[in-house]
Amino acid sequence: MEPHTRNHGSHAVVVGAGLGGLAAAVRLRHRGFRVTVLERHAQPGGRCGIWESGGFRFDTGPTLLLMVEYLRALFDEIGRPMEAYLSLVQLDPNYRVHYADGSTLDVTSRINAMLEGVERVEPGSGPRFLRFLADTSRLYRIGLDGFVDRNVHRRGDFFSLKNLGLLVRGRAMEQLQRMVGRYFRSDKLRHTFSFQSLYLGLSPFDSPAIYGLLPYTEVAGGLYFPMGGMHALPRALARLGGELGVTFRYGADVAHIERGEREVAGVVLADGTRIAADLVLANADLPYVYQTLLQEPYPRIDRLAFSCSAFLMYLGVGRRYPNLPHHTLVVPADLRTTCGDIFERHRIPADPAFYICNPNKTDPALAPPGSENIYVLVPVPNQTPGREIDWSVEGPRLEAATLQRLEHFGLTDLRQHLVTKRTFTPEDFGASFSATRLEAFGLAHGIDQVGYFRPHNRHPVYENLYFVGQSTHPGCGIPMVLISSRLVAERIAAERAAVR
């Protein structure tokens, strides 16, 4: 299908080739805009990056692909078959949860296996698990239809009586722990069905029940993996954009956005090159765009909450661990204290939770024969003023402790078999992505920072400066930034057509 012609000639400059920027570029091009994407790094993907070393390929950021209907919707909108660009496989199990006493639960989308699993962990919980799924499916519909999957920058769209009624009836605003506590008696299952708020960089002990929709999406929708690794996603979008006529410039670091009175005129690169634009769509982190590219801090930035950060290790290992599945979540003995350390006391937890990804279980081409490419993520605090963590000191310590924990967990002789290794600390989120508080997942997703309360996807003064990605509506995560790209493209098309 050819791009619509109505907006032909209008030049949209997209700052950043993260998944949000790429998807928005594709959508704008399809609507007839002339689109240039400027990316400071040498490759597309942003946080969904890749690191290759010694025959190992590591995805550097996201590893769990959920809600694939939003990916398919993008290809459907353009009129191209997704299968021509991506080869997705559904995982089974979705992931293994490993508890402190050594027991495990395989979370899967096969309901019979799930019932068996939860009954083993907590006898009698099977019927309550089914009720949990049914009730969280309602939360999913409330969340998606009412608040996430539409533009909510007008007060009336967000605070409608219908929406408030939905929230009250769905008990969406009560504490997440209180909600899971109604279905499950054991901490094990309570944690298994609430830890997912950590995907948003939010403590499961300080989250509203609406985020119970996350475990529902995993079980009901399944977990997928793109063959070739997660980085196949931005590659596919960049290819699609290229085929539609989007211009990509890598190694193009935008130094500032040129402001007029009510509009922006274009951008200036670090090397001094000026690029004129009819509209600028910023995919880079929004607080940084305000602070650095516009030279005006985001209003009340000091009062905004940021998500937690992540300490990452990419380990090429010259041996196999046959029992290690694609995804493993290791829950510490006292998850509440671990989360308290991260979110309240702002210190590296003494007994951290960690997550291990071993994607060559699904795609053996990602590691040399007889080897494993292991990715480890440890949730850690963001950089909070007055409670700073010196990562040049703490990074090597946490690395050594994590390697030891991994061996204790069951990755026998890991250190002996390391072929290649890289760590990525919160400092690197600052250096690579200009993350304001060295956070991994952007602005926090407390109820006071989502929907109408999240920074809107258009600047309040500059009418042709728009935002896409995790720091604007609806928030963090691959499905969310894909939704963000559709919402902003729809808004641009409506508003820019209106001024023409």
Ligand X SMILES: Cc1cc2nc3c(=O)[nH]c(=O)nc-3n(C[C@H](O)[C@H](O)[C@H](O)COP(=O)(O)OP(=O)(O)OC[C@H]3O[C@@H](n4cnc5c(N)ncnc54)[C@H](O)[C@@H]3O)c2cc1C
Interacting residues toward ligand X by CB under 6 A = 15-21, 38-41, 46-48, 61-64, 66, 253-254, 283-284, 310, 312, 377, 433-434, 440-441, 469-470, 476-478, 481
- The residue among 18 and 316 lying less far from ligand X, judged by its C-beta, is 18
Name the residue nearer to ligand X (CB basis): 3 or 16.
16
* CB closer to ligand X out of 20 and 228: 20
Helix ranges (H only) for 245-388 are: 286-288, 335-343
Measured from the CB of residue 250, what is the shortest distance to ligand X in angstroms? 9
Shortest approach of ligand X to residue 38 CB, angstroms? 5
- 65 vs 172 by CB, closer to ligand X: 65
In the bound state with ligand X, the residue whose beta carbon lies nearer, of 122 and 363, is: 363
Closer of 135 and 363 to ligand X (Cβ): 363
Q: Which residues pair with 312 in a beta bridge?
A: 377, 424
Please list, in sequence order, all residues whose beta carbon lies within 8 angstroms of the beta carbon of residue 75, skipping any fewer than 6 positions away: 81, 82, 85, 240
Query: In DSSP terms, which residues pair with 254 in a beta bridge?
Result: 269
Rounded least distance, CB 391 to ligand X, Å: 15
SS3 label, residue 191: helix
Which residue lies nearer to ligand X by CB, 26 or 440?
A: 440
Minimum distance, C-beta of residue 371 to ligand X, in the bound complex (Å): 22
Smaller CB distance to ligand X: residue 309 or 371? 309
Q: Output DSSP code: residue 410.
A: T
**What is the smallest separation between the CB atom of 314 and ligand X, expressed in angstroms?**
11
Tell me the sheet residues that pair with 39: 250
Place of tokens 């009624």: 165
Give whole-number Cα distances, 116 to 78, 132, 133, 157, 436, in Å.
Answer: 42, 16, 15, 43, 45
Shortest distance, position 66 Cβ to ligand X, whole Å? 6
Of 195, 200, 202, nearest in space to 180 by CA: 195
Q: Residue 477 CB, nearest distance to ligand X (Å)?
A: 4
d(CA 174, CA 181): 12
Query: In terms of CB distance, is 167 or 312 closer to ligand X?
Result: 312
Q: Does the bond joining 93 to the residue before it have cis omega, within 30 degrees of 0?
A: yes
Minimal distance, residue 168 CB to ligand X, in Å: 29
Report residue 215: phi and psi, to 5°. Answer: -60, -30
Write down the least CB distance from residue 303 to ligand X, Å.
22
Complex with ligand X: residue 317 or 480, whichever CB lies closer: 480
Return phi, psi of residue 195, to 5°: -65, -20
User: What is the C-alpha to C-alpha distance for residues 19 and 26, in angstroms, rounded to an integer?
Assistant: 11
Which of 208, 117, 200, 187 is CA-nearest to residue 335?
Answer: 187
User: Can you list the pairs that 288-291 forms with residues at least 24 positions away whose Cβ atoms lie under 8 Å?
Assistant: 288/434, 288/435, 288/436, 289/15, 289/257, 289/467, 291/436
Least distance to ligand X, CB of residue 169, Å: 28
> CA–CA separation, 80 vs 239, rounded Å?
12
Q: 66 in helix, strand or coil?
A: coil
Q: How far apart are CA 246 and CA 25, in angstroms?
A: 7
**CA 329/CA 332 separation, integer angstroms:** 10
Contact 153, 473 (CB under 8 A): yes
Tell the smallest beta-carbon distance from residue 284 to ligand X (Å).
3
Q: Residue number with the shortest CB distance to ligand X?
A: 18
Residue number, 324 or 440, with CB nearest to ligand X: 440
